[in-house]
Amino acid sequence: MYNLAHRFLKHLNPETAHNLSIQALKLGLYPKINFSNSEILEQTIWGRRFQTPIGLSAGFDKNAEVIKPILNLGFSFTELGTVTPLAQTGNPKPRIHRFPKQNALVNSLGFNNKGMEIFENNIINSNFKENFQDKIVGINIGNNKETKDILNDLELLFDRLHRLGDYIVINLSSPNTPGLRDNLKSNSFEKIVNRLHQLRDQNHSRIPILFKISPDITEQEKKDIALISLANDIDGLILTNTSIDKTSLEKELNGGLSGRPLFYKSNKIIRDIYTLTSGKIKIIGVGGIFDANDILTKMKLGASLVQVYTSFTYNGPYHIKKMTLDLISLIQQQGFRNITEVIGQHS
């Protein structure tokens, strides 16, 4: 039944299909995935135990509406958002485009969300920790389009939301908010890192703070980000967001490219950042993951965790269970005792 429903959704406008999927999840219309997690996939990062390395990336559950359903589908962790202080409608429609031949999506959404008040209430009302003490929830925050100083929005969001998640992500890399990626340049990046760390100290918090990075950075920017990350002892980097390089597609569109064409580009950045930081900065690898081999590739290049999005939308609700079971088999076949042993092998 769920596979039939998924095939039907794939024939609809992508944003309509996404909205219907959110409603179905809210109504409990999804398969409850039950499988015994193997200790071979478990690891502890930032003092938190991840049952598997597989998470859902930000962008799917923008308003924290379906935390429990997502975790019921087999994800070890989910990242909510991107949330902005004020609600915003985002960019004009149509703003999501499928490219099935390339296993890709292009989106120009522009941080459309209902704002931090609704987001906060949804998390509180979900009581997800009561049922999912062994699952991890991240909160991805960003600035409103009209905001002049990004730090004003980030401070507001951090103060309001940092107590509600297991980690916080600062989104500095969406191509759909004008000027956002300029904050990855060394002076701006270090200023933002320092300010967020100050905020955490002022709140007597220990929540891990991660930064989501663009795949389109230059070699010098890569080195600067690695150096600043080490110098400021940041908790982690998410590598990478969507790309503005859409040469692999048949037509040019505004927005960011995700899915299979991003795989090798994000892999190179994972490997380079892991090498530049001597493996001292935790990496969440994102971009073009469609099977267990892809997960293992990203982890061998230096990622400790991975996130999926596009393959989940293409392959449906049983996708995460299949990847998890396949990953266990691969790890065992290759003679590893635990998933941590593969990290950085090929960097």
Q: How many CA atoms lie within 13 A of 107 on its CB side?
A: 20
DSSP string across 220-233: HHHHHHHHHHHHTT
Q: Which of 76, 126, 174, 229 is catalytic?
A: 174
Closest CA to 285 of 265, 259, 266, 264: 266
In a domain, 6, yes or no: no
What is the pLDDT at residue 263?
98
Q: How far apart are CA 145 and CA 91, in angstroms?
A: 10
Q: Which tens digits make up the pLDDT trace of 19-47?
A: 999 999 999 999 988 777 679 999 999 99
Q: Which two tokens stand for residue 4?
A: 């039939």
Let me know if residue 144 belongs to a domain: yes
As given in the structure block, the two tokens for residue 249 are 């597609």
| Inside any domain, residue 252 | yes
Q: Specify if 8 maps to a domain.
A: no
> pLDDT, tens digit, for every residue of 307-319?
999 999 999 999 9
Q: What is the pLDDT of residue 37?
A: 66
Where in the sequence is the domain holding 218, given as residue range(s)?
A: 31-342
- Residue for token pair 């019921």: 72
Residues in the chain: 347
Q: Is residue 16 part of a domain?
A: no
Three-class SS state of 107: strand
Q: Which amino acid is at 332?
A: Q
d(CA 316, CA 25): 12
Is 126 designated active site? Answer: no
Tally of structural domains, the chain: 1
Residue 9 located in a structural domain: no
Instruction: For CA atoms 31, 34, 35, 40, give the dihedral sign.
Output: positive
Task: Tell me, rounded to whole angstroms, the distance of Cα 310 from its chain centroid.
Answer: 11
pTM, 2 dp:
0.97
CATH at residue 219: 3.20.20.70
Q: What is the pLDDT of residue 239?
A: 98
For residue 168, give the DSSP letter.
E
What values do phi and psi take at 250, rounded to 5?
Answer: -80, -15
* Residue 25 within any structural domain of the chain: no
Write out residues in the chain with pLDDT < 50, as ranges. none
How open is the CA angle 277-280-282, to the nearest 5 degrees? Answer: 105
Whether 171 and 83 have beta carbons less than 8 Å apart is answered as: no
pLDDT digits (tens, 9 = 90+) for 119-157: 999 999 998 888 777 899 999 999 999 999 999 999 999
DSSP state of 218: -
Q: Would you say residue 219 lies in a domain?
A: yes
